[in-house]
Amino acid sequence: MGLLKKFLDYLDGLSARELVLKAVYLIAIFSAAGILTAALLMRKILTDIPSVDKLDEYTPSLTTYVYDINNQVIAEFSVEKRAMLPLSKIPVDMQNAVIAMEDRNFFRHWGISPRGIIRAQLRNIVAHRRAAGGSTITQQLSRGIFLKPEKSYVRKIKEIVLALQIERNFSKPEILALYLNQIFFGHGVYGVQSASKFYFGKDVPEMTLGECALLTGLIPSPGNYSPFINPETARLRRHLVLQRMLAERYITAEEAAAAEAEPIPAEKSAVAAGHGAYFVEYVRQQLEPKYGFNQLWKGGMKIYTTLDLAMQIPAEEIMEKNLAKYDQDAWKNLAAAEANKEKEEGVDEVSKASATLQGAFLILDTRTGQIKAMIGGRNYRESKFNRATQSARQAGSTFKPFVWMAALMNGYTPASPVEDMPMAYYYDGKDWRLLEGATDQYSIDQAILPFVGNKDFKIWVPNNFDGKFQGRITLRRGLELSRNLASIYLVTHVGPTLVADVAHRAGIKRNLEAVPSIGLGTSLVSTIELASSFSTFANGGIHAAPFGVLKVTDAGGRVLEEAVPEETEAFSPQLSYVLVNMMKGVVQRGTGSYASRLKRPMAGKTGTSQDSKDMWFVGMTPDLTAAAWMGYDDFMSLPMKDWTGGGTVVPWWTEIMETVLKEQPVRDFPVPEGVVFVTVDQETGKLALPTCKKKILEAFVKGTEPKEFCDAVH
């Protein structure tokens, strides 16, 4: 108070002229301080502004596209879904719609609109918040590329300064092109090209007026105006855009009315639907370690693959339809079984009934190894585990062709006799050995009786699926009827080591235990391994390694890699043809006969693993090899006793291939030189006489055909 009194006394002592001078002096000091503060503040703001020179080199995060064999987009890898296009490829309707809605004076102003800024600030004052920005297209571009998405007056000043610099350094068309490639359209999509693909499933040049208007309407608030979230709001926004375009005389009333009548997209395009998801992940796992995360997800690469959506989509739909039906049958069967048990015994069955039956399916180009279709499970979102490539399951009888090839390599022919008789093996501590002379169940029981209860004595008695025995049959009939004991007989005579070697040469990558049970498919294999191995036989003994990527280019179109089929000669074409010819009999007369309704030359093999935990069918034509599997992820047995690979998998495999092969030419497997055909008796394998009732035209490697005639009438 004392200081204030002294100051007032001091002022009272001054004359009027002195008071004025003092006031002017103080105002000058405060003004200078204000100007200096403002200058320092502006200097700090301008120092933080990035140089627009970098706009020439601006490379946004671009979308990497994955294409199928027919250049249809399968999927996208992106952090921000975006593609860069020149203005010449963007429809004029799209350009006009954006200008009409976002900045109708775009071609007349020099980067900012003072009237727009003042109008926006007045609205903000009335609304008591920063509700409207009054930004031009150039300001929006500067904000989107260089500035953080905060709302402040400092950022607004930076935005204005940057806009002025951009206008000084770039032409209007260049600015508009950058804006249209940069703007956010919701759902993680940036730029008009990615937006057109996402919302309409088409490239930008193909967009209609109504679609251009719809996209433009999204710009202020993509989340609120999305047709997938608020379709009616999206319709109203499109109407507003069309009316603005009409007012600016960009379109006529008739064009506006036609655009209004266009439907609003109700669901994402097929590109976003996720067909081939397991295949896309298979490709990603190969390419991401090679090129790195940034290049794959932000580099705008183009990945051209072998997948054929025309095969992939129906395969997905048909497999799911059939497995869903089998699920229902299994649940009904388990429920009926539970009803016949005590309550406490049925608890486990109820939990099993809730399990979901799984499946896998794969198509390879027989000659090149190209992956044409891949299904790794029923729902990628629920389980990303790829059962076509990552799952190891028992092959069951689908492993038998490797045994039969080993037999052919050891001098057997399709007409050679094999034994389908009871047999037993014992383990001597080092190896499994055949119990000599034990050729019927009684003799087997007598042979093992002294060792019952001996923990050191191991016995294995294989059996056929039907529990019956055919006696002596031909090699061909053993394969067609999938006789387990015939397979074990062959393994015993050619050796399990050779069988394992044949499987590896054909295309099986996993370790295989060389034991007698290898002939029953007790080893673990994957769907892709079986398909690849069978295609080796169908391809005349040439193994073509499976692959999914044809070519990869960078954003500038430079080729980064290009596939070359990897081929290895595994078996002679003559032996391969003889085996395939026997496998054709599996489809014509054997366990895979359901597939014969395709009415074309086809070979294959069914399979059911131990305790019916896996169901298989692998079939091939000269052009395509397809493998199908179904089972439970937890290795639970399939609950229907009469379910086999031939009765369950073959029907939906056939339904898929009926669609896939519809446009494929009907061709038979080519016969190599050195193969001859002889008519033989189907029962004995000897040369057929006119009196033989069951005759078959059999293929032999030249010089191995039978010399004896059938001596009995069948």
The answer, yes or no, to whether residue 295 has pLDDT greater than 80, is yes
Contact status, residue 331 vs residue 96, Cβ threshold 8 Å: no
Tell me the mean pLDDT in the region 258-271: 81
Least confident stretch, 23-32, 242-251, 344-353, 662-671: 344-353
Tell me the mean pLDDT in the region 197-204: 87
- Residue 443 burial class via C-beta count within 10 angstroms: exposed 0-12, middle 13-18, buried 19 and up: middle
Residue keyed to tokens 């655009």:
259
Residue 352: pLDDT band with limits 50, 70, 90: very low
pLDDT at 549: 97
pTM, full prediction: 0.73
Higher pLDDT residue, 189 or 243? 243
pLDDT at 131: 45
Set 78, 113, 397, 609: catalytic member: 397
Q: Which residues contact 515 (CB under 8 A, 6 or more apart)?
A: 432, 496, 522
State the chain's mean pLDDT as an integer: 83
pLDDT, tens digit, 9 for 90 and up, residues 394-419: 999 999 999 999 999 999 999 999 98
Rg (CA), the chain: 38
Tell me the mean pLDDT in the region 200-225: 92
Tell me the mean pLDDT in the region 544-569: 94
The answer, yes or no, to whether residue 147 has pLDDT greater than 80, is no
397 is catalytic: yes
Least confident stretch, 113-117, 423-427, 666-670: 113-117
Higher pLDDT residue, 4 or 179? 179
Residue keyed to tokens 């001859």:
676
Contact status, residue 710 vs residue 684, Cβ threshold 8 Å: yes
pLDDT at 536: 98
Tally the C-alpha atoms within 13 A of residue 226's C-alpha that lie toward its C-beta: 16
Tell me the mean pLDDT in the region 540-558: 95
pLDDT, tens digit, 9 for 90 and up, residues 41-64: 555 555 555 555 555 555 566 788
Set 76, 78, 102, 167: catalytic member: 102
pLDDT at 433: 64
Higher pLDDT residue, 77 or 566? 566
The total of other beta-carbon atoms located within 10 Å of residue 526's CB is 24
Least confident stretch, 20-29, 147-156, 216-225: 147-156
pLDDT, tens digit, 9 for 90 and up, residues 440-480: 666 666 666 666 666 666 777 777 676 677 788 999 999 99
CA-CA-CA-CA torsion sign (179, 182, 188, 192): positive
d(CA 185, CA 216): 9
